[in-house]
Amino acid sequence: MKENKSEWVLLRSFSNSLEANIVCSFLNSQGIETQSRDEHIVNINWLYSNAVGGVKVMVRSQDLEAATSALEAQESAPPLEVVGEECPKCHSTQTEHNFKSYKGIKTLFVALFALVLPFRDREAWSCLSCGHQWQKTESQSGIYIFFNWLIFFLVLGLLLSLFMGWFRQI
Ligand SMILES: [Zn+2]
Protein backbone atom coordinates (compact mmCIF):
# COMPACT_ATOMS: atom_id res chain seq x y z
CA MET A 1 0.00 0.00 0.00
CA LYS A 2 1.42 3.31 -1.09
CA GLU A 3 1.52 6.14 1.43
CA ASN A 4 1.62 8.96 -1.07
CA LYS A 5 -1.59 10.62 0.08
CA SER A 6 -1.34 13.98 1.80
CA GLU A 7 -2.15 14.59 5.44
CA TRP A 8 -5.58 15.16 6.98
CA VAL A 9 -6.52 18.77 7.65
CA LEU A 10 -9.43 20.27 9.56
CA LEU A 11 -12.28 21.43 7.35
CA ARG A 12 -14.83 22.40 9.99
CA SER A 13 -16.04 21.42 13.43
CA PHE A 14 -19.62 20.87 14.51
CA SER A 15 -21.33 20.79 17.89
CA ASN A 16 -22.98 17.46 17.12
CA SER A 17 -22.21 14.38 15.08
CA LEU A 18 -25.44 14.60 13.07
CA GLU A 19 -24.35 17.80 11.32
CA ALA A 20 -20.86 16.39 10.85
CA ASN A 21 -22.28 13.21 9.28
CA ILE A 22 -24.45 15.20 6.88
CA VAL A 23 -21.41 17.17 5.72
CA CYS A 24 -19.33 13.99 5.44
CA SER A 25 -21.86 12.17 3.31
CA PHE A 26 -22.39 15.24 1.15
CA LEU A 27 -18.63 15.52 0.51
CA ASN A 28 -18.36 11.77 -0.11
CA SER A 29 -21.07 12.11 -2.75
CA GLN A 30 -18.88 14.78 -4.37
CA GLY A 31 -15.98 12.31 -4.44
CA ILE A 32 -14.13 13.90 -1.52
CA GLU A 33 -12.69 11.61 1.14
CA THR A 34 -13.57 12.56 4.74
CA GLN A 35 -12.85 11.55 8.31
CA SER A 36 -14.66 12.65 11.44
CA ARG A 37 -12.85 12.98 14.74
CA ASP A 38 -14.03 13.12 18.34
CA GLU A 39 -17.44 11.93 17.22
CA HIS A 40 -17.67 9.25 19.91
CA ILE A 41 -16.69 11.43 22.85
CA VAL A 42 -19.31 14.00 21.81
CA ASN A 43 -21.90 11.25 21.44
CA ILE A 44 -21.19 10.00 24.96
CA ASN A 45 -21.85 13.43 26.42
CA TRP A 46 -22.63 16.45 24.31
CA LEU A 47 -21.26 18.69 27.09
CA TYR A 48 -17.81 17.44 26.12
CA SER A 49 -18.37 18.97 22.69
CA ASN A 50 -17.01 22.36 23.73
CA ALA A 51 -14.14 20.81 25.64
CA VAL A 52 -12.82 18.84 22.68
CA GLY A 53 -13.74 21.52 20.14
CA GLY A 54 -16.69 19.73 18.60
CA VAL A 55 -16.89 16.94 16.06
CA LYS A 56 -14.19 17.65 13.49
CA VAL A 57 -14.60 16.90 9.82
CA MET A 58 -11.21 16.28 8.24
CA VAL A 59 -10.29 16.19 4.57
CA ARG A 60 -7.05 15.49 2.69
CA SER A 61 -5.07 18.71 2.33
CA GLN A 62 -5.28 18.56 -1.48
CA ASP A 63 -9.10 18.38 -1.22
CA LEU A 64 -9.47 21.31 1.19
CA GLU A 65 -10.16 23.93 -1.47
CA ALA A 66 -12.64 21.76 -3.36
CA ALA A 67 -14.42 20.76 -0.14
CA THR A 68 -14.71 24.37 1.03
CA SER A 69 -16.17 25.60 -2.25
CA ALA A 70 -18.54 22.59 -2.51
CA LEU A 71 -19.88 23.36 0.97
CA GLU A 72 -20.22 27.07 0.26
CA ALA A 73 -22.10 26.37 -2.97
CA GLN A 74 -24.41 24.00 -1.13
CA GLU A 75 -25.09 26.53 1.65
CA SER A 76 -25.81 29.48 -0.64
CA ALA A 77 -28.33 27.46 -2.63
CA PRO A 78 -31.91 28.00 -1.44
CA PRO A 79 -33.50 25.00 0.24
CA LEU A 80 -35.39 23.30 -2.57
CA GLU A 81 -37.99 21.60 -0.42
CA VAL A 82 -39.50 24.92 0.65
CA VAL A 83 -42.21 25.82 -1.81
CA GLY A 84 -45.02 27.94 -0.48
CA GLU A 85 -47.22 30.86 -1.43
CA GLU A 86 -45.84 33.17 -4.08
CA CYS A 87 -44.27 36.29 -2.58
CA PRO A 88 -46.29 39.36 -3.63
CA LYS A 89 -43.11 41.42 -3.74
CA CYS A 90 -40.52 39.34 -5.59
CA HIS A 91 -42.68 36.41 -6.84
CA SER A 92 -40.38 33.85 -5.27
CA THR A 93 -41.97 30.60 -4.08
CA GLN A 94 -39.26 30.15 -1.45
CA THR A 95 -41.61 31.24 1.31
CA GLU A 96 -42.68 29.81 4.61
CA HIS A 97 -45.82 29.78 6.68
CA ASN A 98 -45.38 31.04 10.21
CA PHE A 99 -47.27 32.10 13.29
CA LYS A 100 -45.25 35.23 13.97
CA SER A 101 -48.35 37.42 13.83
CA TYR A 102 -49.63 35.82 17.02
CA LYS A 103 -47.75 37.11 20.02
CA GLY A 104 -47.78 36.44 23.74
CA ILE A 105 -51.11 35.36 25.22
CA LYS A 106 -52.61 35.20 21.75
CA THR A 107 -50.34 32.29 20.91
CA LEU A 108 -51.82 30.33 23.81
CA PHE A 109 -55.37 30.89 22.60
CA VAL A 110 -54.47 30.04 19.04
CA ALA A 111 -52.82 26.83 20.25
CA LEU A 112 -55.87 25.93 22.39
CA PHE A 113 -58.33 26.56 19.59
CA ALA A 114 -56.16 24.74 17.08
CA LEU A 115 -56.57 21.63 19.25
CA VAL A 116 -60.33 21.87 19.02
CA LEU A 117 -60.87 23.15 15.52
CA PRO A 118 -58.71 24.22 12.65
CA PHE A 119 -59.01 28.00 12.84
CA ARG A 120 -57.09 29.23 9.86
CA ASP A 121 -58.70 32.48 8.90
CA ARG A 122 -55.45 34.35 8.69
CA GLU A 123 -52.14 33.01 7.61
CA ALA A 124 -48.83 34.73 8.11
CA TRP A 125 -46.22 34.15 5.46
CA SER A 126 -42.65 35.30 5.12
CA CYS A 127 -40.44 35.27 2.06
CA LEU A 128 -37.06 33.54 2.35
CA SER A 129 -35.71 35.40 -0.67
CA CYS A 130 -36.47 39.05 0.12
CA GLY A 131 -37.68 38.88 3.73
CA HIS A 132 -41.09 40.37 2.95
CA GLN A 133 -43.86 39.42 5.38
CA TRP A 134 -47.54 39.43 4.59
CA GLN A 135 -50.84 38.00 5.68
CA LYS A 136 -53.14 35.97 3.55
CA THR A 137 -56.83 35.64 4.30
CA GLU A 138 -57.96 32.21 3.32
CA SER A 139 -61.12 31.98 1.33
CA GLN A 140 -63.08 29.33 3.19
CA SER A 141 -66.24 27.69 2.04
CA GLY A 142 -69.40 28.50 4.02
CA ILE A 143 -69.93 24.93 5.14
CA TYR A 144 -66.39 24.81 6.57
CA ILE A 145 -66.97 27.97 8.62
CA PHE A 146 -70.38 26.64 9.70
CA PHE A 147 -68.87 23.40 11.05
CA ASN A 148 -66.02 25.31 12.70
CA TRP A 149 -68.49 27.42 14.68
CA LEU A 150 -70.76 24.45 15.37
CA ILE A 151 -67.84 22.55 16.97
CA PHE A 152 -66.80 25.72 18.78
CA PHE A 153 -70.23 26.18 20.41
CA LEU A 154 -70.52 22.48 21.23
CA VAL A 155 -67.18 22.61 23.07
CA LEU A 156 -68.20 25.89 24.74
CA GLY A 157 -71.53 24.35 25.83
CA LEU A 158 -69.77 21.28 27.18
CA LEU A 159 -67.34 23.41 29.19
CA LEU A 160 -70.21 25.58 30.52
CA SER A 161 -72.25 22.57 31.64
CA LEU A 162 -69.21 21.09 33.36
CA PHE A 163 -68.63 24.41 35.11
CA MET A 164 -72.28 24.72 36.17
CA GLY A 165 -72.25 21.16 37.51
CA TRP A 166 -69.22 21.94 39.56
CA PHE A 167 -70.80 25.23 40.74
CA ARG A 168 -73.95 23.49 42.00
CA GLN A 169 -71.93 21.13 44.18
CA ILE A 170 -70.67 23.92 46.42
ZN1 LIG B 1 -40.03 37.94 -1.70
Question: How much distance in Å is there from the Cα of 77 to the middle of ligand 1?
Answer: 16
Selected residue with higher pLDDT from 123 and 91:
91
Q: Per residue in 1-37, pLDDT tens? A: 445 578 999 999 888 888 889 899 999 999 999 999 8
Last residue of a domain, one of 76, 109, 126: 76
Residue 84 in domain? no
State whether 157 and 103 are in the same domain.
yes
Asked if residue 110 has pLDDT above 70, the reply is no
DSSP 78: P
Q: Is residue 81 assigned to a domain? A: no
Higher-scoring residue by pLDDT: 103, 159: 159
State pTM to two decimals.
0.44
- pLDDT on residue 1: 43
User: Is residue 19 assigned to a domain?
Assistant: yes
Mean pLDDT of the chain: 78
CA 133 to ligand 1 center in whole angstroms: 8
Q: Cα separations (Å) of 104 from 108, 115, 119, 169?
A: 7, 18, 18, 35
The amino acid that residue 87 corresponds to is C
**Secondary structure letter of residue 85 according to DSSP:** S
Which amino acid makes up residue 28? N
Task: Write the pLDDT tens digit of every residue in 41-88.
Answer: 777 776 777 777 888 999 999 999 999 999 888 877 665 555 678 888
Least confident of 21-35, 107-121, 148-162: 107-121
**Domain end point (choices 76, 107, 135):** 76
Q: Is residue 2 part of a domain?
A: no
The alpha carbon of 19 and the centre of ligand 1 are apart by a number of angstroms equal to 29
Q: Are both 102 and 71 inside the same structural domain?
A: no
Domain CATH code at residue 61: 3.30.70
* Separation between Cα atoms, residue 22 and residue 20, nearest integer Å: 5
Neighbours of 66 (CB within 10 A): 15
Contact at 8 Å (CB) between 9 and 58? yes
3-state secondary structure 93-109: CCEEEECCCCCCHHHHH
What burial letters (b/e) apply to 97-120, b meaning 16+ CB within 10 Å?
A: eeeeeeeeeeeeeeeeeeeeeeee
- pLDDT value of position 101: 46
Distance (angstroms) between ligand 1 centre and the Cα of 90 equals 4
pLDDT, average across residues 98-121 = 56
- How many structural domains compose the chain? 2
Running DSSP on this structure, what letter comes out for residue 15?
S
Per-residue model confidence (pLDDT) at position 81: 55
| DSSP 8-class letter at 156 | H
Q: Are the beta carbons of 62 and 11 closer than 8 angstroms?
A: no
Calculate how far, in angstroms, residue 144's C-alpha sits from the geometric centre of ligand 1: 31
Instruction: Decide if 13 is inside a domain.
Output: yes
**CA 170/CA 166 separation, integer angstroms:** 7
> pLDDT confidence of 106, banded at 50, 70, 90?
low
Q: Is the pLDDT of residue 123 over 50?
A: yes
Domain annotation covers residue 87: no
Which of 76, 106, 131 is where one domain is finished? Answer: 76
Crossing angle for the helix pair 64-76 and 17-29, nearest 10 degrees? Answer: 110
Q: Are 75 and 51 in contact (CB under 8 A)?
A: no
Q: Residue 134: pLDDT above 60? A: yes
Please give the residue range of the domain that contains residue 53: 8-76
pLDDT band at residue 137 using 50, 70 and 90 as cut-offs = low
CA of 88 to the centre of ligand 1 (A): 7
Residue 3 lies in a domain: no
> Is 68 part of a structural domain of the chain?
yes
